[in-house]
Structures are given as C-alpha cells and as structure tokens.
A = this chain, B = another copy of it.
Amino acid sequence: MTTSRPLRADAARNRALLLAAAADEFAEHGLGASVADIARRAGVGKGTVFRHFPTKDDLIAAIVLDRIQALAAIGERLLDSGDPGAALLEFLTAAAQQRQQRDLSFLQEAGDVRPEVGKARTAMFQTIDTLVDRAREYGVIRTDVTGTDVILLMCAPGYVANSLPDAAPDLWRRYLAIIFDGLRPEGAHPLPQPPPDLL
C-alpha cells in the first residue's frame, strides 16, 4: 500500500475535522456544498482541504469508503455469530442506524465516484450475501429471498430521516420491523420474478 510516514499530529487532527465537517455539509446541502464552506466549517483554510484530498471527488470518496468499510467490518464480525437470524437483524439495524445518525442521502448521489469505492461495495455485498444465506438455511427467512433482495430492501428504513424531518429519532426501527416481517417465512406469499444474482 501507499503507507508513507505517519501524518504530523496537527495534520491528522485537521484531516479528521475535515471529514466530519464535509459529512455534515453534504448532509445539509447535498454534494453541491462548496469546498470553501467545508473548510470554513472545519476551521481551516481552503488550501488545507486540497492538501489532504487532491480533488473534491477524492474527499467524497473518502467519506463514502469510510461508511462502507465500517458496515463491512460489522458484517464480517457477525459472520461468526451463533444465531444467523439475530445476526442478520443486527446487521440491518446497524445499517439503518448509520444512515440515521447523519443524513446520508448524499451517498446515493455519490455513486461509485472512485473504483476503490465500487470494490469495497462489492466486498460488503458478498458479506451480506453470506449473512443472508445462513439465515435462509437456518429457516428464519423465506427460501425464495436472496442476498440481493435484502441489500435493496435495506435501503428503505434509512430514508425516514430525510422524508420526515421531525420524526422520532428511532422511528426507523418500526420500518425495519415491518420489512423484516415481510422477509419472514410464516406469512409468506409467492414472489413474482426470480431474483437476479448480484456479483
């Protein structure tokens, strides 16, 4: 990797401040937020932003990558869990929670702005796939539901914050519960359309 010598103390602090400020700014104004505003919010000069991130897209990619890898780490840890059903629910909870903390709808806007982001996403999807396979074999979700299904379905609860500004802060749990009920084998109705194979 490109692990050169460690950052100077103040540089490391500024980098962290910038990532936080950028996430907040993007949450409030979308990806259109200006680099100058981000710098002001972080309390640094504009030049400092470009020293840490050569372009605005690099800054965006750094944030997105951070979130994806955080989720991937949680998923990986849950692979060793004893109860596959609880593991899947816990993962989906973590995903919804992450989206809820800050408004992360700009992640949708961002897409895969850098190839590394796509790579990380694919890796995380693979983890989810395994998580779902185990839950299915364990009998806690329908036999006709795939990992891809769950990946797409799990987008929904996170949008709550955005759509309903003054909602209770853990309302997303309610929607996660409804969707999880739809995944359960008990009251399952036959599904149209065979699922596609992501990856």
Whether A191 and B164, one on each chain, are in contact in the complex, defined by CB atoms closer than 8 angstroms, is no
Of chain B, the residue at the smallest CB distance from A195 is B174
Interface: A3 (CB within 8 A): no
Q: How far is the CB of A165 from chain B (nearest CB, A)?
A: 10
Jot down 24 A-B pairs with beta carbons below 8 A, ordered by A: A30-B109, A108-B159, A148-B164, A149-B174, A149-B178, A152-B156, A152-B159, A153-B156, A153-B175, A153-B179, A155-B156, A155-B163, A164-B196, A164-B198, A171-B193, A174-B192, A174-B193, A177-B192, A178-B183, A179-B182, A180-B182, A182-B183, A186-B187, A187-B187
Q: Write out the residue numbers on chain B whose beta carbons fall within 8 Å of the beta carbon of A167.
A: 196
A193 touching B170 in the complex, CB below 8 Å, given contacts A155-B163, A186-B187, A187-B184: yes
Which residues of chain A (118-158) have a CB below 8 Å from chain B?
A: 145, 148-149, 151-153, 155-156
Is A188 at the interface (CB under 8 A from chain B)?
yes
In the bound complex, CA of A177 to CA of B153 (Å)? 11
By beta carbon, the residue of chain B nearest A145 is: B178
A54 interface residue (CB < 8 Å to B): no
Q: Residue A105 contacts which of B32, B108, B174, B184 (CB distance < 8 angstroms)?
A: B108
* Number of identical monomers bound together in the oligomeric complex: 2
Most buried by B among A108, A151, A195: A108
- Tell me how far the C-beta of A146 lies from the nearest C-beta in chain B, rounded to whole angstroms: 10
Confirm or deny: A37 has a beta carbon within 8 angstroms of a beta carbon on chain B.
Answer: no
Look across to chain B and name the residue whose beta carbon is closest to the beta carbon of A105: B108
Contacts of A175 in B (CB 8 A): 149, 152-153
Q: Which residues of B contact A31 (CB under 8 A)?
A: 30, 32
Question: Which residues of B are found within 8 Å of A188, using beta-carbon distances?
Answer: 181, 187
Complex CA gap A187/B170 in Å reads 23
Cα of A105 to Cα of B109 in the assembled complex, Å: 9
The smallest beta-carbon distance between A182 and chain B, in angstroms, is 3
Q: Is the C-beta of A51 less than 8 angstroms from some C-beta in chain B?
A: no
